[in-house]
Structure 1
Amino acid sequence: MDTRRHEAPTRRTVLTAALAAVAATASLTAGCTRHGTADDGRPPQATPAPTEGTPAPSGQPATGSVLAVKIDNVAAARPQTGLDAADVVYAEQVEGGLSRLMAVYATKLPEVIGPVRSVRESDLELLRQFTRPTLAFSGAQKKLLPLIDRAPLRPESPAEASAAYHRGSGRPAPHNLYLRPAKLMPDGAPGRAALTTGFRYGPAPAGGTVTASRTVRYPAARFTFSWSGDRNRWLVSMDGTPATTTAGNRLAAATVVVQHVRVRPSEYHDVLGNNTPFTETVGSGKAEVLRDGRSFEATWSRPAATGGTTFTTADGSPVNFADGQVWVVFAKS
């Protein structure tokens, strides 16, 4: 895949520069616009892990802003780039029963991330747990723009930061928009303290059920996590195919959370008229936490949008996560 940025336009004449600028803008906005029209086409430095048994920092000023990137997840968008470097990956159902990902970066930034796609209303609620996160996305429905503008985040679509995005070769738009995160985060990754998710890390709870694999199904998509004792990770598959990055790395999670939530219709629709689901991440419900080859029944709780999500066992004890990448898959209750 060609991941080079478009070259800067020549400056022989004012006219040549102007034409080059128009051409570059048209290339970036094919399939997306200002954080304007939706692109709903369908088919560094790591910091130490938190001390064992203690929560990741939450409810205190973060050292910086996390980077959250909306990532395409239809077959034409795979394999993705830079997804293995995320600290947390959220999977949600979108129009037509398909899936889309939100990758959150705090401890390191890869060189390139993508393909980048459009934002949903649910994402704005999910991201309120972070302190003014930077949101990278390709566009949004016109009716959603006022909500994005009022949200406590820094929106960075190609319209706001064209130099941070480029179109890769070998894939058609809209599945070929890529982000160079250093262009949005010149000071680098903010560090672990910016991950105000409410997650706790440490030894596994007692008990649990030995689990070889777990599959979560959406109407038109599915995720499977298979335990690898050799890697001490859950290997990720999507729609029945092993998930890798463009660099050939198999996607693997240290902890997988299947979070049962209410998924209801919203007031938005895609270009084909399909309703956009709203995934409610504030409230409480059942969850399954997968780590160390076992599954643990849990309850999740997020009383307010400005707080993180806690996971506890039946007796109220916190469920610790394993150190490493966390996948949270929102499953309909």
Structure 2
Amino acid sequence: MDTAPGARTRRGRAAALLAAVVAACLAAGCTSGGPSDDGRGSSSRPSRDAADGSSVLAVKVDNARTARPHTGLEAADVVYVEQVEGGLSRLMAVYASRLPESVGPVRSARESDLELLRQFRRPVLAFSGAQGRLLPFIDRAPLEAVTPESSPRGYVRGTDRPAPHNLYLRPGQLMDGPPGRSALTTGFRYGPAPEGGRAEIRHTVRYPAARFTFTWSPDRDRWLVAMDGSPAVTTAGEQLSPATVVVQHVTVRPSDFRDFLGNTTPYTETVGSGKATVLRGGRAHDARWNRPDATEGTSFRTAGGAPVSFAPGQVWVVYATAP
């Protein structure tokens, strides 16, 4: 065995480098058994240059600390927050009313996304790879998959941060324009605030390795978003501020997919029913959510059965583990 000081030094450096790579990949939610998260993986779906005008655009957005600040999230109609490997989080931004110039950083898809997106008519899903065994499921799903390989004009690498946290989508290269709010078949109702509720100016949702805090701002009439204790700002310096926040308690179970370290990828069940908390106007409203089928949207009602309406503007849906 080579025990010379130089050999020990080389082994030490190699071990340190390997540990750094493993830690970075785990934080980013990398998967194994297939394409990597840096865009090398793609579905076999043919290239798509434009939507048919009636489809929402859904973009998988990186939410590792090194991926922040985000670009284009402020323009989304709905932002979904889901748990991924290691207790971290990832976002799905859905666009119908307007398309930003750029969105990102873009990252990989998960199995749960396919069920969530069934509520829309042939949505466009922009992502940068997926676990190899998941790709055939994406190919068979009723959606249009757009990756850097299938639509290279739609993506660009930034220079302000290292890969894989620097891949951005250019929606204008994929779609002629936004499909309009009628494409948002989420089942959400918008209108006057429901009666009752309780005053609440701050609400925190915790994942094993991530934390979201929503603080009510009377001046802006919005909920200010913080992630892991820091204000969630865009690359334009604007703090993310949805009009309505839904904390939806769901079943989060192991899927059949694992990352390269053997960690099981969580599966978030969005079909079914359960408890929810709807935050709007500085008040919290207890509700029940119901989505009987994957092809339908999600409704929210009070304990008495009255529909819970959302405030006009952006909605964040945070999927929290059911107690």
Question: Which TM-score band applies after superposition, normalised by the shorter structure?
Answer: 0.7 to 0.9
- Paired amino acid for 2:225: V
1:251 aligned to which of 234, 240, 244: 240
- Paired amino acid for 2:82: E
Contact 1:256 1:326 in 2 (8 A): yes
Distance apart, 1:30 and its partner CA = 8.1
Contact 1:82 1:114 in 2 (8 A): yes
2:118 aligned to which of 128, 134, 147: 128
1:103 aligned to which of 86, 93, 102: 93
1:176 aligned to which of 163, 166, 188: 166
Q: 1:206 to 1:63 in 2, by over 3 A?
A: farther
Paired residues for 1:149-298 under 5 Å: 149-185=139-175, 187-298=176-287
Contact 1:36 1:141 in 2 (8 A): no
Distance apart, 1:98 and its partner CA = 0.2
- Tell me the SS of whatever aligns to 1:96: helix
How many residue pairs match? The answer is 280
Contact 1:70 1:103 in 2 (8 A): yes
Q: Hey, what's the Cα distance between the residues in 2 that align with 1:296 and 1:100?
A: 25
Once the two structures are superposed, what CA deviation does each residue of 1:186-236 show, in whole Å capped at 9, x if it has no partner? x20000000000000000011110001000000000100000000000000
Please name the residue that 1:32 is paired with. Answer: 39
Please name the residue that 2:129 is paired with. Answer: 139
Q: 1:30 to 1:139 in 2, by over 3 A?
A: closer
- Tell me the SS of whatever aligns to 1:301: strand
Please name the residue that 1:15 is paired with. Answer: none
Residue 315 (structure 1) aligned with residue 322 (structure 2)? no
- Tell me the SS of whatever aligns to 1:148: helix
Contact 1:36 1:145 in 2 (8 A): yes
Distance apart, 1:271 and its partner CA = 1.8
Q: Hey, what's the Cα distance between the residues in 2 that align with 1:254 and 1:102?
A: 17
Please name the residue that 2:63 is paired with. Answer: 73
Please name the residue that 2:13 is paired with. Answer: none
Q: Hey, what's the Cα distance between the residues in 2 that align with 1:250 and 1:311?
A: 27
Once the two structures are superposed, what CA deviation does each residue of 1:59-89 show, in whole Å capped at 9, x if it has no partner? xxx9600000000001000000000000000
Q: Hey, what's the Cα distance between the residues in 2 that align with 1:65 and 1:237?
A: 30
Contact 1:117 1:138 in 2 (8 A): yes
Contact 2:222 2:242 in 1 (8 A): yes
Q: Hey, what's the Cα distance between the residues in 2 that align with 1:118 and 1:265?
A: 18
- Tell me the SS of whatever aligns to 2:118: helix
- Paired amino acid for 2:42: H
Contact 2:101 2:170 in 1 (8 A): yes
Paired residues for 1:76-95 under 5 Å: 76-95=66-85
Q: Hey, what's the Cα distance between the residues in 2 that align with 1:138 and 1:214?
A: 32
- Paired amino acid for 1:229: P
- Paired amino acid for 1:91: V
- Paired amino acid for 1:260: H
Q: Hey, what's the Cα distance between the residues in 1 that align with 2:169 and 2:294?
A: 27
- Paired amino acid for 1:35: S
- Tell me the SS of whatever aligns to 1:317: coil
Contact 1:126 1:281 in 2 (8 A): yes
Distance apart, 1:273 and its partner CA = 1.8
Q: Hey, what's the Cα distance between the residues in 2 that align with 1:127 and 1:63?
A: 17
Distance apart, 1:170 and its partner CA = 1.8
Q: Hey, what's the Cα distance between the residues in 1 that align with 2:38 and 2:60?
A: 15
Distance apart, 1:159 and its partner CA = 1.1
- Paired amino acid for 1:31: D
* Residue ranges of structure 1 left out of the alignment (5+ in a row): 1-28, 38-61
TM-score (norm 1): 0.82
Once the two structures are superposed, what CA deviation does each residue of 1:137-165 show, in whole Å capped at 9, x if it has no partner? 00011100110000000000111101110
* RMSD, matched Cα: 1.4
Distance apart, 1:276 and its partner CA = 0.4
Q: Hey, what's the Cα distance between the residues in 2 that align with 1:159 and 1:274?
A: 27
Contact 1:227 1:293 in 2 (8 A): yes
Distance apart, 1:36 and its partner CA = 5.5
Q: Hey, what's the Cα distance between the residues in 2 that align with 1:88 and 1:30?
A: 24
Q: 1:30 to 1:294 in 2, by over 3 A?
A: closer
Contact 1:228 1:235 in 2 (8 A): yes
- Paired amino acid for 2:289: W
- Tell me the SS of whatever aligns to 1:244: coil
